Structure 1
Amino acid sequence: MLTHRFGATACLLFVSAAPLFAQTVKVDDVEFTLSGEVRVRSELDARTSDAGTDHATLLRTRLGALARPSEQVGVFIQLSDSRVFGEEANTLADATADRLDVHQAWLAWTPQPNLTLTVGRQELAFADERLVGPVDWTNVSRAFDGARLNLRAAGWTLAGFAMSLDEQAALLATGLNPRVNADSTASDRSLFGLWAATDHFDLFALGDMNATDGPDRSDIDRYTFGGRARTQLGNVALQATGAYQVGDQTQTGIPRQDLEAYMASAAANYLLTGSLRGQIGVQADVLSGDESPLDDTFGGFNTLYATNHKFYGFMDLFLDLPRQTGDLGLVDVMFRAMIRPDVWTVKADVHHFSLAEENLAGDKAIGVELDLTASRTLAGGLGIQAGYSLFSPSDAAKVSPIGLGEDTLHWA
């Protein structure tokens, strides 16, 4: 799946424009579509207690080319450079480009109008990206190496995929001894799954094999099953998502543990009409935690390869779950409002965070986060976004395992 991004985007406290293009040309009957992006984001970061405010400006530049030698075949290559202003200390001699990468490189074959096979390095995004997404907010974003098969039939879209995440015995370059591979006993890490979707329902089954989670958990075989439902009743949009995880893992000092964890989410939004346009709503997310860390069952729900920035606050205090809550889970009750006066889109989110399981002090309340954003299009291909976030900690946030400290935190 290809998403074209044309133009320049400026986020938060910085505005930038660059001449970009989107052009389709034909060369010897091969159709080429070029795409590009320049994104500049300037941040003020005061998310650490007892520390000063840090400022940094991030730049992401992308250039992509899609070639279609026939109606059935597509080839896409996308280069991406991600950097921070000032990271090259010598303005003349340093040209290392540490994060210049082939972000995507895939071949797509469509033998039938309802069937497409895509092989190579590619972004994956399913449903609202609660479990698998590219995390486009980051300066790099996520891509996978593997194959994906898409089938459309009877109102359903079915995606089956298999991705290699950590190859332990990579084939050697020509001229080297390939028998060295036989010495490798480590298992490859992989992600595979099936995702079926209609206009109102999703069903999914995912397998995350030979995963690791920090220095003390390894050989994780994790299977996630679930679904999502959504509908609209008049001006009220409703959505619910549920998932259950099973499997097993090895943890330092503990016999091999079984995995039994769950995630549940429900949201209701009232759609506003008239001059303002927009919506107001409420959402509740529950990620299970591990009640007894020394027993033979682990209950912390892992959000896999999700775009967590969309769900658990724009300050990104809870990206690595369940690790960042000490495996105690997370409960997030969010109130949301969005209006579109004239050319602006203005949003306000309020999150109330708490642990799903009590910490050692018997506390659950983590704190409240406020996220404010405003965005608009300035011209064709040029947009701007500004934002401010604040986190007020409660008792569970101030101490281990969360350890955010006593201070009110800020980010813009």
Structure 2
Amino acid sequence: MKKIYHLFVIVLTIFPFGRGNLKAQSLTFSGEIRPRFEFRHGYKTIIPDGNSAASFISQRTRLNLFYGSQKFKFGIALQNVRVWGDVPQLNSSDVYGTALHQAWGEVIFSKKLAFKIGRQEISYDDQRIFGGVNWTQQARSHDAAILKYRPNKMTKIDVGLAQNAQSETLYKIDYLVNNYKTFQYIWYHRRFNKSGLSLLFLNNGMPYHESNNSQAVVYSQTYGGRFTYTYNPLNFNASFYYQGGKNKLDNTLSAEYAAAEVTYSLPCEFTFGLGGEYLSGTSSKEQALNQTDNSFKPFYGTNHKFNGWMDYFYVGNYMYSNGLMDISLPLTQKANRFTFKLVPHYFLAAAKVSASQGNGTWKDYKSNLGAEIDFSANYNFSNDVSISGGYSQMMATQTLQVLKGGNHKNSNNWAWLMLTFKPTFFSKL
């Protein structure tokens, strides 16, 4: 409560509330509480024999402050993430405490040019390369600076950079945080009458320890784009990216990504679609040799959104892998305040899966990794309160067991139930 009180004091002290002063100013103070129950029996990986399901309740709590004027904008998001029971009732402090999810300022030079700097979410297009990862209770934000150029209503250009260090020092020290050391990117988006085109170039620098134990930075380059087309009730999108340069192990990187999806909406608010996604991979033998890396890496995307909600692929795992081909059939039905989604997936490895048998021999496996069915339902009580839940089932194969371990014959499923409160305490636009 003290932190909430102090935040109110900051709002009242810093920002003027006179009628004349607010003519060209906006101020919003909002919050969020999001408890979520999860039942995990084979979530992220095939459950091994002799293991029981996990169940817990996690919670995200946020306070958000946004201020804007003709000359600048300002945003802060305080956040606490916890698991119910991770501290006793008479606790003096939390396990994770309160963190700054966002803390940024934006200078507005003109209607066309602005500069945003500080801790902030970075999200573009379908969030495949850059995304806020809102599903996770902690979400993702970056310490970055972004120059934003808007030459007209149809065009957006962002140039961003990040430069990370572990602490203030007098001399150079190694960067040991599990993070990138630096990145630079440029994002271009052009909207046409019924279509849109985005182009992205990302130069990503990762820390690497050389043979003499000194730390260097190795760079990879990701470049490509995304095209969208809308002709109601038909929607289509396609993406392609290429990655080159070096991976974080200083090995040559050469990888590709391609995706396409088409959806069709019926008057009864039922939408069905067909999607396909390809992320190149490195064969098991090539991984053992630890040489050229052909595995595409969606570095900072909202990966939970893609390739099944059970997070077997690219959510904290599978980056240096045999790649993936994913065929999906998304189905959505809206009815008043309800939204239902059903998404079947069929997974295949993009590169050959093998297992070493010793003596230089390898056993090859089929590319079929299995299938997953995801279902979710959401009900909006109001604009500020909603309840949602879901169930997913993974039908794994022996090939997926070779890659992930566990026993593919076991049942692998995941269920969740979440209540979200997002009130706006004060808003002046």
TM-score, length basis structure 2: 0.80
1:289 matched to which residue of 2? 281
2:55 matched to which residue of 1? 55
Q: 1:250 to 1:39 in 2, by over 3 A?
A: closer
Distance in 2 (CA, whole Å) between partners of 1:326 and 1:355 is 13
| Contact kept in structure 2, 1:330 and 1:356, CA below 8 Å | yes
1:80 matched to which residue of 2? 79
1:158 matched to which residue of 2? 157
Q: Which runs of 4+ in 1 moved over 4 A?
A: 23-26, 185-188
Supply the AA of the counterpart residue of 2:341. Answer: K
The match for 1:373 among 355, 371, 376 is 376
1:305 aligns with 2:300: yes
1:66 matched to which residue of 2? 66
What is the CA distance between 1:313 and its match in structure 2? 0.8
Matches within 5 A, 1:165-314: 166-168=164-166, 170-172=167-169, 178=170, 181-182=171-172, 184=173, 189-199=181-191, 200-211=196-207, 219-249=217-247, 251=249, 256-273=250-267, 276-291=268-283, 292-293=286-287, 294=289, 296-314=291-309
Q: Deviations over 1:184-241 (max 9, x none)?
A: 366981121001112210001001112569xxx9954110000000102442211100
Q: 1:250 to 1:53 in 2, by over 3 A?
A: closer
SS of aligned partner of 2:350: coil
Distance in 2 (CA, whole Å) between partners of 1:270 and 1:146 is 38
| Contact kept in structure 2, 1:350 and 1:370, CA below 8 Å | yes
Supply the AA of the counterpart residue of 2:186. Answer: L
Distance in 1 (CA, whole Å) between partners of 2:92 and 2:333 is 45
2:361 matched to which residue of 1? none
Q: 1:247 to 1:339 in 2, by over 3 A?
A: same
Q: 1:380 to 1:202 in 2, by over 3 A?
A: closer
Q: 1:221 to 1:404 in 2, by over 3 A?
A: farther
Distance in 1 (CA, whole Å) between partners of 2:282 and 2:348 is 14
Supply the AA of the counterpart residue of 1:318. Answer: F
Q: Deviations over 1:116-139 (max 9, x none)?
A: 211111010011100111101001
SS of aligned partner of 2:318: helix
1:405 matched to which residue of 2? 407
* Root mean square deviation, CA, Å: 2.4
Q: 1:404 to 1:152 in 2, by over 3 A?
A: farther
2:389 matched to which residue of 1? 386
What is the CA distance between 1:49 and its match in structure 2? 3.4
Matches within 5 A, 1:345-356: 345-356=339-350
What is the CA distance between 1:326 and its match in structure 2? 5.5
| Contact kept in structure 1, 2:165 and 2:175, CA below 8 Å | no
2:39 matched to which residue of 1? 44
Supply the AA of the counterpart residue of 1:282. Answer: L
- Gap regions ≥5 residues in structure 2: 1-10, 210-214, 355-363, 416-429
Q: 1:151 to 1:404 in 2, by over 3 A?
A: farther
Q: 1:97 to 1:403 in 2, by over 3 A?
A: closer
Q: 1:235 to 1:404 in 2, by over 3 A?
A: farther
Distance in 1 (CA, whole Å) between partners of 2:174 and 2:55 is 45
Distance in 2 (CA, whole Å) between partners of 1:208 and 1:99 is 30
Q: Between the two structures, name the one with larger relative contact order (CA 8 Å, sep ≥ 6).
A: 2
| Contact kept in structure 1, 2:260 and 2:275, CA below 8 Å | yes
SS of aligned partner of 2:330: strand
SS of aligned partner of 1:280: strand
Distance in 2 (CA, whole Å) between partners of 1:338 and 1:59 is 27
Distance in 1 (CA, whole Å) between partners of 2:353 and 2:61 is 43
SS of aligned partner of 2:399: helix
| Contact kept in structure 2, 1:221 and 1:248, CA below 8 Å | yes
What is the CA distance between 1:26 and its match in structure 2? 4.6
| Contact kept in structure 1, 2:117 and 2:146, CA below 8 Å | yes
Q: 1:210 to 1:363 in 2, by over 3 A?
A: same
What is the CA distance between 1:96 and its match in structure 2? 2.9
Deviates more, 1:184-193 or 1:97-106: 184-193
Supply the AA of the counterpart residue of 2:252. Answer: D
SS of aligned partner of 1:309: helix
Q: 1:186 to 1:389 in 2, by over 3 A?
A: closer
Supply the AA of the counterpart residue of 1:232. Answer: T
Q: Deviations over 1:34-65 (max 9, x none)?
A: 11111111111111233212111111000011
SS of aligned partner of 2:329: strand
1:396 aligns with 2:405: no
Supply the AA of the counterpart residue of 1:75. Answer: F
Supply the AA of the counterpart residue of 2:139. Answer: S
| Contact kept in structure 2, 1:195 and 1:202, CA below 8 Å | yes
Supply the AA of the counterpart residue of 1:403. Answer: G
Distance in 1 (CA, whole Å) between partners of 2:84 and 2:290 is 48
> Identity of counterpart residues, as a percentage?
26
Distance in 2 (CA, whole Å) between partners of 1:75 and 1:110 is 11
Q: Deviations over 1:363-393 (max 9, x none)?
A: 2111100000010211231011110000011
What is the CA distance between 1:92 and its match in structure 2? 0.9
Supply the AA of the counterpart residue of 2:400. Answer: A
| Contact kept in structure 1, 2:379 and 2:388, CA below 8 Å | yes
Distance in 2 (CA, whole Å) between partners of 1:124 and 1:65 is 18
What is the CA distance between 1:295 and its match in structure 2? 6.7
| Contact kept in structure 2, 1:81 and 1:97, CA below 8 Å | no
Supply the AA of the counterpart residue of 2:36. Answer: R
- Gap regions ≥5 residues in structure 1: 1-22, 173-177
